[in-house]
Structure 1
Amino acid sequence: MTLVGIDWQELKDTPGTELLPRVFAIMRDAAVAVHAAEPDDPALLQVIPRLADLIPSRRELTPLREPFSALARAVGLWNYIDREAADDVDRLIAEAVTAPELGGITFHREQIVALNKLLSGENLILSAPTSFGKSLLIDALLATGKYGRVAIVLPTIALLDEFRRRLRRRFSSRFEILMHPTDVAAGRNVIFLGTQERLIGREDLGDLDLTVVDEFYKLDPRRRDERHVTLNAAVYRLLRRSRQFFFLGPNIDNVQMNVEGRWSFQFLKTRFSTVAVDTFDLRQAADKEARLLDELAEERNWPALVFVSSPDRANRLAESASEQMAVSENTTEFAEWLRENVGSRWPLAKAVEYGFGVHHARVPRAIASHMVRMFNRSELPVLFCTSTLIEGVNTAARSVLIFDKKISRQNYDFFTFANIRGRAGRLGQHHVGQVYLFNEPPTAEETEVSPTLFGDDESASDDYVVHLEDEDTTTAIDDRVTALRQLLDLTKAELRLASAVGLDTALALKQHVDASLRGRRALVWSGLPDFNTTLATLEVICKVKNAREFGAFSAKQLAFLIGSLRSHKSLKAFLIERDQNLTSDIATYDNVFKFLRACEYGLPQLFALVEIFVRKRFVIADYSYFVREMSRWFRNEALRNLDEEGVPIQVSERFVQPGDDRNSLARRLASVALSNDERLTPFEREWLLAALDIDRDGGVLAPNGIA
């Protein structure tokens, strides 16, 4: 018998009299393979989660509990050891690698290998499958007390919030955990959580004990991530002040360093996975969309992630699915809340009512967070998602249905495919995941990551080299930076700010600003501009950026949206009016959310850059107040901060008071959530309790001011 050729589904259906000897034979073959196979051989490793799924479900397999634990110990999956049935040796091994301070989590062998390297002081770059448990290693390091000041770089706000929640629950008494740009470090033990855009601008980092970079493959410009320059620059800045670093990512075969000496590291690559996956080939389905809906109707596939190529695609498929069937009876209140607080015409409301959610960059953060929460509780059985979910937030997905083969109109490569596939199954919930393929998978190939900051600086882009400190530059780089300063008429600090939008974009913007100033002075303003002044500034911006990038069809519509956002007393009122007055195709509904994201990041950077160029000639220009207000939607900063933590602004804006910061507003929301305040519906009360990490009995996890 070979471990690869086992039909596990057929085995599950085997009669009791035949099952015991067959499973024992599999365990015997696996025990033999332990001595002959590679220590991270997937064919061997997958036997353990499959047996963990099978043995408890069949009473006749009870005699195999003890030998199963011995096999789990031999393979290195010590977290699968059944302590109630294991012998003394296996039980002692499991107890030796269990961390009571992390809630009794048991590590597996490869996690211990990585931890030993890190605790010896080595810089480590770890490549491991999604189900490896990489994030747990961060928690284990923090629990040792060896690290006091830590920076963690994460790719998305959603992942920031996930980390924040987990770290607050475990370490709120030991660390300040800062996530928002307005948070200020007060003590020595601090965890700075941030995207690259947030961490590159922090002035309170000090000397760091540890820098962690999650999804580190995004440092490679060949990954076509438009934020890679800022990521490399931010990580460069962090590593210069950090005594140790730890990079994490999936499915990487090699890391290229072209310049020796600046940083050294150990690269650890492992295929060690804690779950098994069944793959089903549906490429030959005559009607793929019909077959997709057939699979989504099956409860055995829930919770199910459906990977699609774009937000528009996710929206359309969710709407189509909701027109044909319902897969949940637990989402009616959520759908009604969406209609009342976002808009009755939003197609997503109907999709949610019938059990279908979506997760992509346009969905408001608190709403997306609640969808993931309901998905993980099996209340929202299906999520249509893009790479925003696949590449970051952890879910309890049993099945992943890979419906498309593109991201942003380009075929994804094997690396991305393997990352998507790795989201099926979750340790402790779904030992065996399911993957459904609707297209030919990419050809398997090795993936090498070549971060810009590990390469030859002289061959790096202008946008990156302007961030290098003087001691790391060469004469050739200094000459390049000098030429850029002269061309753009910017200081080195201003060049760094301009690099956030791209120096080529900055040059084009400068030329249009200069041309505008020759004809009139509409760009010379301060405070809050009126409509015409806003429009004049946006007309310059939209000469270098398409208004559609910001959720509008033209500069004039963009100016109107900004004015409308400013004038409405609540975000809910702004959204409801837009819902009622929408005259374009309903497929463009998400543009309003795209606009709100652009107000947070994108438009503020461009307005600030226009101001820099205008001030070169007219020092009275001052856009700072407008830029700051726009970035928080012309509302109290606490509302947006809590929105990032899963509290919808439509709820929190009912309770905000002048002078509130994030902590005071959070305390007030906690109080009303635990009361019978009539301003909250029962659904909203439950949402608040979950977002604020408060249990239903009134017990409060008391991190960072919520008490």
Structure 2
Amino acid sequence: MNISQDEWQQLRSLSDTELKRRVFRILQTAAASIQEQGTEDPRLLEVVPRLAELFASKPELKDLREALSSLARATGLWNYIDKDVAATADLLVAETVTVPELDGVTLHREQVAALNDLLAGRNLILSAPTSFGKSLLIDALLASGKYSRVAIVLPTIALLDEFRRRLKRRFVERFELIMHPGDKPTEGSATIFLGTQERLINRTDLGKLDLTVVDEFYKLDPNRRDERSITLNAAVSKLLNRSNQFFFLGPNIDDVRFSGEGRWKFEFLRTRFSTVAVDTYDLGGVAEKEARLFDEIAEDRHWPALVFVSAPDKANRLASRAAEQMAISDGSADFAQWLSDNVGSGWSLVQTVRFGFGVHHGRLPRAIASQMVRMFNQKDLPVLFCTSTLIEGVNTAAKTVLIFDKSINRSDYDFFTYSNIKGRAGRLGEHHVGQVYLFNEPPQHELTAVAPTLFGDQDEAPDDYVVQLDEQETTKGTYTRVASLKIALGLDAAGLRLAAAVGLEAALALKQAVPKALGRRAALVWSGVPKYGEIFAVVEVICSVRRATEFGAFTPSQLTFLINALRLAPSMRHFLITYDGKYEGKPEAHDNVFKFLRACEYGLPQYFAVVEMFVKQHAQGADYSLFIQSISRWFKPEELKNLDEEGVPIQISERFHKGEDKDGLANKLLRLAREGSQHLTAFERKWILAALE
């Protein structure tokens, strides 16, 4: 079956009679194709979403809705069966695969096949397009009643929060959700552990697990140059050793490689089954690409639209230029005012948001990034300039994706990444036909294979991974390597694991730097609350191994200044407004302060802890534990940081915190928002309700 993109678009301009005739012919041809060739042809599968999109805007086609439902049943796209008009046989299929516990969602053929494998107890690795509905399978497993203790590994805090909100809404009565490091499960309760690899690898209360789920599993492959890959592999290895079953899911993977002995058996299901269709437009030959980009995003027929660019600075810069040329929304002024009042009026994003443009990249605070996506999905921010961070599972309702750049941080992206970005166009139930605009030639098609470290030969695994293994996992070769590392670094097993958090090579460099600094009488031996010079002494050692820019500062002196300013600030709002008032750098780099705040959460605490270990090898008086614990939560109560991860910005929650625990503070904020408290703006009340209800 072969209908061109142009032919589909021409259907919209046909008169009633001619339109009916053409659509009826398409339905006939599709039915004949199924009889002759089966249902695997992707061009056949896309007929259903394309017709569904057409039917939604052409009421004159209502007499053909039953025929479309029959085609949906035949192709396995059972979620497109219209239960109001479907024939009895089609309706029976739809009802059979509808899950009441999941808000009445109807599954499609490939979802049911995967679910059957999982409910039969088999380990499954699923590779499917973004529009497949992979997260629904996780929810369906939880709804089955078969699993009572589950660990779910997710790549980002943003995705953790998205899962938290969805699972809480559906399963709050059935499961206890454990997401923050300080959360503790109740003995005997059904529990879901939600965490990034860094959090789950350090949990000691996991117990025996019924199921381990790993989302975006391609990140297990060290060849994807993700610096967190080693920790991910170590965390997943730990989980699989205590789990009865596992389920890995991700997009566009062609093969999974493993060593011959294969400690874990699994089924690999690769499918290209997509629930939406995509139109692709080549703008690679356009001379003035930026001008053309702005012309396209000015058209409301594209909204909501994602614009993919290579790096955070460029996303900020392009969004700012777009806002200088046009205003595309009147629903984002309150958000812009909030950013001005709580982050700083000098931040270029204030004006960007005011005129309807959002930005999403790794430097943004999580609660603000979450609000950006929420307002994008609601069309209050019709255009979102984003980097590759948005392809890591966060759900968006994008109708159009404009791929403006062909690189990520100066390296050309591969076909796998390109496919993931492209897969963001279209959303089941909202935009059955997505649009992709290419401003550069796409990378050549190539197969993508994933080779997780934990599936490989342990004797060939990197040292940073090997030191994380439980003793029963080690081989004679890895045992010998670990023993040698203990001697070289002067650390026990727990110390090696901590050193691996910064990388054993960096840890060795720190071990060598510490005695040199002590020889210069650097103030490394301190405990409790450090003085300014004592912080600086440790920062100097850290920055002899890692550049200050990796922590959001230009020099060790500036990094120390920022740490101290954050420590002394009476509130996060005060810290950010003060920073804004003194900032003199490039507008697009203003939000580097958030890179510093991320480093305070993870990065700096680990480096301070490793330096402390090596200082103790020379002087027993060092104890950085209070400082490390404090900096990891921005020197604020832990409840505020935890709520920030759940979508309530700390600038709001810190105004109301009077010593309550997280749940108590969340309930207070909810009550104030529901009552219309004048201590919250109308915008803040909506924000709180969206994040916590």
Task: Give the TM-score normalised by structure 1.
Answer: 0.97
After superposition, give the CA deviation of every residue in 1:13-39 in whole Å (9 maximum; x if it has no partner).
Answer: 111121111111111111122234464
Shift of 1:565: 0.6
Matched, 1:367 2:368: yes
- 1:490 alignment partner in structure 2: 491
Q: Secondary structure at the match of 2:232?
A: helix
- 1:701 alignment partner in structure 2: none
Shift of 1:516: 1.3
Shift of 1:597: 0.6
Q: Secondary structure at the match of 1:110?
A: helix
Matched, 1:481 2:474: no
- 1:349 alignment partner in structure 2: 350
- 1:105 alignment partner in structure 2: 105
Partners of 2:219 and 2:262 lie apart in 1 by: 22
CA RMSD of aligned residues (A): 1.1
After superposition, give the CA deviation of every residue in 1:687-706 in whole Å (9 maximum; x if it has no partner).
Answer: 1111111xxxxxxxxxxxxx
- 1:698 alignment partner in structure 2: none
- 2:2·2:43 contact (CA, 8 Å) conserved in 1? no
Matched, 1:290 2:291: yes
- 1:259·1:454 contact (CA, 8 Å) conserved in 2? no
- 1:173 alignment partner in structure 2: 173
Shift of 1:479: 1.3
Partners of 1:549 and 1:259 lie apart in 2 by: 39
Amino acid at match of 1:443: Q
- 1:131·1:273 contact (CA, 8 Å) conserved in 2? yes
Partners of 2:492 and 2:37 lie apart in 1 by: 59
After superposition, give the CA deviation of every residue in 1:594-613 in whole Å (9 maximum; x if it has no partner).
Answer: 11111000000000110111
- 1:516 alignment partner in structure 2: 517
Matched, 1:392 2:397: no
Shift of 1:99: 0.5
Q: Secondary structure at the match of 1:379?
A: coil
- 2:262·2:455 contact (CA, 8 Å) conserved in 1? no
Shift of 1:421: 0.4
Partners of 1:372 and 1:521 lie apart in 2 by: 46
- 2:566 alignment partner in structure 1: 565
Partners of 2:73 and 2:670 lie apart in 1 by: 45
Q: Secondary structure at the match of 2:561?
A: helix
Partners of 1:496 and 1:622 lie apart in 2 by: 19
Percent identity over the alignment? Answer: 63
After superposition, give the CA deviation of every residue in 1:394-430 in whole Å (9 maximum; x if it has no partner).
Answer: 0000000000000111100001000100000000000
Partners of 2:595 and 2:417 lie apart in 1 by: 25
Partners of 1:260 and 1:39 lie apart in 2 by: 36
After TM superposition, list the pairs within 5 Å mapping 1:445-464 onto structure 2. Answer: 445-464=446-465
Amino acid at match of 2:64: L
- 1:79·1:106 contact (CA, 8 Å) conserved in 2? yes
- 1:140 alignment partner in structure 2: 140
Structure 1 residues 500, 259: CA separation in 2 closer, same or farther (over 3 Å shift)?
Answer: farther
- 1:653 alignment partner in structure 2: 654
After TM superposition, list the pairs within 5 Å mapping 1:16-95 onto structure 2. Answer: 16-37=16-37, 39-95=39-95
Partners of 1:60 and 1:635 lie apart in 2 by: 61
Partners of 2:648 and 2:631 lie apart in 1 by: 20
Amino acid at match of 1:135: S
Amino acid at match of 2:26: I
- 1:41·1:272 contact (CA, 8 Å) conserved in 2? no
- 2:423 alignment partner in structure 1: 422
Partners of 1:319 and 1:56 lie apart in 2 by: 36
Partners of 2:470 and 2:123 lie apart in 1 by: 22
Q: Which runs of 5+ in 1 are unaligned?
A: 694-707
- 2:347·2:580 contact (CA, 8 Å) conserved in 1? yes
After superposition, give the CA deviation of every residue in 1:141-163 in whole Å (9 maximum; x if it has no partner).
Answer: 00011000000000000000000
Partners of 2:38 and 2:587 lie apart in 1 by: 54
Point out the more displaced range, 679-688 or 228-237: 679-688
Shift of 1:165: 0.4
Partners of 2:155 and 2:498 lie apart in 1 by: 20
- 2:526 alignment partner in structure 1: 525
Q: List structure 1 runs of 4+ shifted beyond 4 angstroms.
A: none
- 2:314·2:588 contact (CA, 8 Å) conserved in 1? no
Q: Secondary structure at the match of 1:674?
A: helix
Amino acid at match of 2:308: F
Shift of 1:667: 1.1
Amino acid at match of 2:537: A
Structure 1 residues 298, 6: CA separation in 2 closer, same or farther (over 3 Å shift)?
Answer: closer
Shift of 1:5: 6.5
Partners of 1:301 and 1:4 lie apart in 2 by: 20
Partners of 1:567 and 1:468 lie apart in 2 by: 40
Partners of 2:452 and 2:37 lie apart in 1 by: 33
Amino acid at match of 2:342: N
Partners of 2:493 and 2:541 lie apart in 1 by: 24
Shift of 1:4: 4.9
Q: Secondary structure at the match of 1:278?
A: strand
Point out the more displaced range, 551-560 or 117-126: 551-560
Shift of 1:463: 0.5
- 1:117 alignment partner in structure 2: 117
- 1:355·1:380 contact (CA, 8 Å) conserved in 2? yes
Shift of 1:521: 5.4
After superposition, give the CA deviation of every residue in 1:326-379 in whole Å (9 maximum; x if it has no partner).
Answer: 110111111111111100100000000000010011111111111111111111
- 1:615·1:621 contact (CA, 8 Å) conserved in 2? yes
Shift of 1:318: 0.4
- 2:202 alignment partner in structure 1: 201
- 2:276·2:434 contact (CA, 8 Å) conserved in 1? yes
Partners of 1:441 and 1:38 lie apart in 2 by: 31
Partners of 2:528 and 2:614 lie apart in 1 by: 17
Partners of 1:2 and 1:110 lie apart in 2 by: 23
Shift of 1:391: 2.0
Partners of 1:293 and 1:5 lie apart in 2 by: 24
- 1:3·1:44 contact (CA, 8 Å) conserved in 2? no
Q: Which runs of 5+ in 2 are unaligned?
A: none
- 1:3·1:30 contact (CA, 8 Å) conserved in 2? no
Amino acid at match of 2:447: E
Q: Secondary structure at the match of 1:135?
A: helix
Shift of 1:664: 1.1
Partners of 1:259 and 1:496 lie apart in 2 by: 28
Amino acid at match of 2:144: T
Amino acid at match of 1:476: G
Partners of 2:120 and 2:513 lie apart in 1 by: 55
- 1:164 alignment partner in structure 2: 164
- 2:301 alignment partner in structure 1: 300
- 2:550 alignment partner in structure 1: 549
Partners of 1:57 and 1:588 lie apart in 2 by: 44
Structure 1 residues 642, 104: CA separation in 2 closer, same or farther (over 3 Å shift)?
Answer: same
After superposition, give the CA deviation of every residue in 1:496-529 in whole Å (9 maximum; x if it has no partner).
Answer: 1111111000000110012112332511111111
Partners of 1:13 and 1:584 lie apart in 2 by: 52
After superposition, give the CA deviation of every residue in 1:232-283 in whole Å (9 maximum; x if it has no partner).
Answer: 0000000000000000000001100114241000000000000000101111
Q: Secondary structure at the match of 1:635?
A: coil
- 1:3·1:29 contact (CA, 8 Å) conserved in 2? no
Structure 1 residues 46, 498: CA separation in 2 closer, same or farther (over 3 Å shift)?
Answer: same
Amino acid at match of 2:397: A
After superposition, give the CA deviation of every residue in 1:55-96 in whole Å (9 maximum; x if it has no partner).
Answer: 232233122111111100000000000111111110011000
- 2:599 alignment partner in structure 1: 598
Q: Secondary structure at the match of 2:158?
A: helix
- 2:526·2:621 contact (CA, 8 Å) conserved in 1? yes
Shift of 1:300: 0.2
Partners of 1:260 and 1:231 lie apart in 2 by: 21
Amino acid at match of 2:667: R
Amino acid at match of 2:580: D
Q: Secondary structure at the match of 2:675?
A: coil
Partners of 1:637 and 1:73 lie apart in 2 by: 51
Amino acid at match of 2:155: P
Point out the more displaced range, 671-680 or 285-294: 671-680
Q: Secondary structure at the match of 1:24?
A: helix
- 1:696 alignment partner in structure 2: none
Amino acid at match of 1:556: S
